[in-house]
Structure 1
Amino acid sequence: MAIANESRQEEQNMREEHHGAGRYWLIWVLLLVLTAVTVVTGRIHIPTWGLVLALVVATTKGTLVLLYFMHLIDHRGANRLVFAVSILFVVLMLAIPLVDLGTRYRGATPPGSTVSDMQAIDIGADAMEGRFGGGLRKEGKTGEQSGSPRQ
């Protein structure tokens, strides 16, 4: 019965409190500014903090929409708890893989990735020469054409 009473109490509080349109215009302007930040930072290359900035801006925009346009800021109790737990899980689901990636030892990081300092191995040219058991043969000393089978 506590949940039903809480819903009735919230319903009465929402009827009594009417918010003006000014709050919604302010949130809309903030969302436009954050969208402009997303567009500007997306066009410039920020190698170190680009991903973190994009995630913070996206989370902030989503939180503003949830709190004000979906009226979560006016609710109490279970709705706020569900919102807080979902934000906690989003942070955990992003932080745990990023910490794992950042703390890997050198042998587990593939060569050529953005977090590795090892050189990428180019096997494309070697495969064309037939060193790895396939590919096309180049024209050799005997005058064979590339790709022609030996007889």
Structure 2
Amino acid sequence: MAIANESHQEEQNMQEHHGAGRYVVIWVVLLVLTLVTVYTGRMHLPDFGLLLALVIASVKGTLVALYFMHLSEHRGANRLVFGVSIAFVVLLIGFTLMDFGTRFRLSNPPGSQYSDLQAVDIGANQAEGRPGGHQQKIKQKGETHE
């Protein structure tokens, strides 16, 4: 009986048309968040850049699901599933970042913000003539090698 009442109530909600103003406001907010993502993506934020990008993406996805997919108008099981999925994503991302940030330093990739090792630049070794790489002989114009 609860399902029948819920679908009847949703049918009444669908008949009430919302103005375009709400969708324009959400669209502008999504555009602003996209600009913030692009702007912060060009900045060097080693400590919290990944976390900031994930939070912005999660907020944008939540806004799309709530307003453009009309989940804000639904009741009952739909809200429960949406809430549990958001909590699950937060837990997965949180546990992954905690694991990556607290693991043994030498197990992190060289050059990452969590590693003490310097990044290996193979091209620099070859250009500087250090041993360990194959050096290419370059012939300049006018030179002949016998």
TM-score where L is the length of structure 1: 0.73
- Which residue in the other structure is 1:132 paired with? none
- Which residue in the other structure is 1:83 paired with? 82
Report the number of matched residues: 129
Change over 3 Å in CA distance of 1:107–1:38 after alignment to 2: closer
Q: Write the letter of the residue equivalent to 1:2.
A: A
Alignment of 1:6 onto 2:6 = yes
Aligned-residue offset at 1:102: 1.1
Change over 3 Å in CA distance of 1:119–1:26 after alignment to 2: closer
Aligned-residue offset at 1:12: 1.7
Change over 3 Å in CA distance of 1:74–1:54 after alignment to 2: same
Alpha-carbon separation, structure 1, partners of 2:41 and 2:105 = 29
Aligned-residue offset at 1:108: 3.5
Matches within 5 A, 1:14-93: 14-15=14-15, 17-93=16-92
What is the root-mean-square deviation of aligned Cα atoms in Å?
Answer: 2.3
Once the two structures are superposed, residues 103-147 of structure 1 have per-residue CA deviations (whole angstroms, 9 ceiling, x without a partner) of 11334334443311134678987765xxxxxxx8xxxxxxxxxxx
Q: Structure 2 unaligned segments of length 5 or more: list them.
A: 135-146
Aligned-residue offset at 1:47: 1.2
Structure number with bigger Rg: 1
Alpha-carbon separation, structure 2, partners of 1:122 and 1:22 = 53
Q: Structure 1 unaligned segments of length 5 or more: list them.
A: 129-135, 137-151
Percent of pairs identical after alignment? 68
- Which residue in the other structure is 2:116 paired with? 117
Alpha-carbon separation, structure 2, partners of 1:38 and 1:121 = 29
Alpha-carbon separation, structure 1, partners of 2:132 and 2:75 = 64
